[in-house]
Amino acid sequence: MMKLKSTFAVLALLVLVHANAQEITNTKFGKGILNVVAKDSSWSMKFSARMQFLATNGWDINDGEFSKAETNFLLRRARLKFGGFAYSPKLQYKIELGLSNRDISGASEFTSNAPRYILDAVLKWNFFENFTLWAGQTKLPGNRERVISSANLQLVDRSRLNSKFNIDRDLGVQLRHYIKVTDQFIIQEALALSQGEGRNITSGNLGGHQYTARVEFLPFGKFKSKGDYKGGDLKREQTPKLAVGVTYDYNADAVKDRSNQGSYMVTDTGFYETDIKTVFIDAMFKYKGLSFMAEFADRDAADAIAVNNDGTPTGDIVQVGNAANFQLGYLFKSNWELAGRYTNLNYDAIVGKALEEQYTLGISKYVVGHKLKVQSDMSYTTQDGDGSGLQYRLQFDIHF
C-alpha cells in the first residue's frame, strides 16, 4: 500500500510537469520551481526542490598508522519544500519533505514503524504586531548552526557540537517576537513548548514536556537576506553585523539520552526518566566577506545514570558535558571561499568518553550563491590528543 501511494504521488507530479512543460515561468533559478498566487490573493504556494551529492574518503588512525581508505558515495539530502500563505499573508505555512535514506531513517514503534518523511509541517500566524505564533513540527529555537538550513552551510556539513548536542525538531507550539530598541538595535525572543521526543512521534508522550527559551541581540541591525542564519558572508556586508544568541532548554522527565535526541533509555519496568537541561550560547559576525561563528553548548541532567527499578544501572547514561565550536571564513571576490573550523566535545567523567577535538579546513565555490555550489573539506580528529581519524569530503549542491 505504501509503495502504491508513492507511485501515485510521483505520477501526479509527472503529469503536472508535463502539462506545463511548454509554459514559460517568470520565476528565477533558486527562487522556487513553481510560484503561484490566487487571483483573489487568498492563498499562495511556492514549490522548490534541492539535492546534495556527497563523496567521502575516511581513514582510521591507530598508533599513528592509517587504515585503508573507506570510500562512500551518498545522496546526502533530497528534499521538497512547499510554502506560502493561506487566507491572509499573516498566516503562513511551510512543509518540507525528506526523500533520501538519511532523511527518512529512524522508523520505530514510536513512529508507527513508518519512514519519517516529514521534516517541517508548521503554521505561522502573525496575530498581533510583532508577535507570531507557530504550531506544528519544526526546528526548536536551539543552537544557531542547527537552525541554519543544511542548504546554507559554509562547510560540507554541520559540526560535531551540533550532531551530539542539538535539540533539533519537535512537535509543539512556539511564540516569536521582536522589538526594535533603536533604529538599528533589535532584540528577538522565542518561547517553545514541545513534546520532548523529537520529530514524527506518533505514540507517546512517554516523558514530560520540553520548554525552550531563546533571546537574540542584533546591535548593528539586520543582516542582508537573513544572513545571521546563513553560512559565509555571501552578501559582503558593508558595515559590521553581529548577532548574539542564548538558549535555555528544559526537558522534564526526558526518556532519551540526549534530551529529545539520541536513544531511548529502557529499564526493566519501562523507561528511565530524568530532567535534562541544555544551554546554548552563540554568535555570528560578518563584514566585507569575512565571517565568524562561535557556539558553546552545555548539557546537564538531574540523574544522568539510568537505573532499573531495583537501582542497578541499565547501561544507559545521559550524554552530559559541553562542547565548543569556532568557525572562520573569507569569501574572495571570485566567489571562492576558504573556511576553517575547530570543535571540541568534553563529556563529563561518568559518560566515559575521551576529549574529542576536530580540525576542519574547507574550500567552496559558489556558482549561484548557496543555490548552486561545490564544497570540499578535510577533517582531522583526535581523542585525548592522539590522532584517531582523517576524512575528506566533496559535495555538489543544487537548489531550485
Instruction: Spell out, as residue ranges, where the chain has pLDDT lower than 70.
Output: 1-26
Query: Nearest Cα to 153, choosing from 49, 232, 54, 77?
Result: 232
pLDDT (0 to 100) of residue 64? 87
Q: How many residues would you count in the chain?
A: 400
Query: Nearest Cα to 340, choosing from 327, 352, 330?
Result: 327
DSSP state of 30: T
Q: HSE on the CB side for 159, CA within 13 Å?
A: 35
pLDDT digits (tens, 9 = 90+) for 246-281: 999 999 999 999 999 999 999 999 999 999 999 999
pLDDT (0 to 100) of residue 104? 94
pLDDT (0 to 100) of residue 16? 52
Query: Nearest Cα to 190, choosing from 165, 172, 166, 205?
Result: 172
pLDDT (0 to 100) of residue 13? 53
pLDDT digits (tens, 9 = 90+) for 28-56: 888 888 889 999 999 999 999 999 999 99
What pTM did the predictor assign?
0.92
pLDDT (0 to 100) of residue 33? 85
Q: In angstroms, rounded to a whole number, what is the distance separating the alpha carbons of residues 28 and 9?
A: 26
Sole residue written with cell 520532548: 196
pLDDT (0 to 100) of residue 15? 47
Q: Cα-flanking dihedrals φ and ψ of residue 232, to 5°? A: 75, 155
pLDDT (0 to 100) of residue 348? 98
Q: In angstroms, rounded to a whole number, what is the distance separating the alpha carbons of residues 211 and 86?
A: 29
pLDDT (0 to 100) of residue 6? 54
Phi-psi region of 32 (alpha: psi -120 to 50; beta: other; left: phi over 0): left
Q: What domains are defined for the chain?
A: 49-74+146-399 (2.40.160.10)
- Helices (H), ranges, the chain: 2-19, 101-104, 144-147, 160-165
Q: Residue 398: what residue type? A: I
pLDDT (0 to 100) of residue 316? 98
pLDDT (0 to 100) of residue 324? 98
- Strands, E, within 219-355: which ranges? 241-254, 256-258, 261-264, 274-287, 290-301, 305-307, 313-317, 321-331, 336-347
- Residue 330 grid coordinates: 573569507
Whether residue 371 contacts residue 32, with contact meaning beta carbons closer than 8 Å, is answered with no
Query: Nearest Cα to 140, choosing from 91, 101, 175?
Result: 175
pLDDT (0 to 100) of residue 252? 98
Whether residue 286 contacts residue 222, with contact meaning beta carbons closer than 8 Å, is answered with no
- The separation between CA 49 and the C-alpha centre of its own chain, rounded to angstroms, equals 17
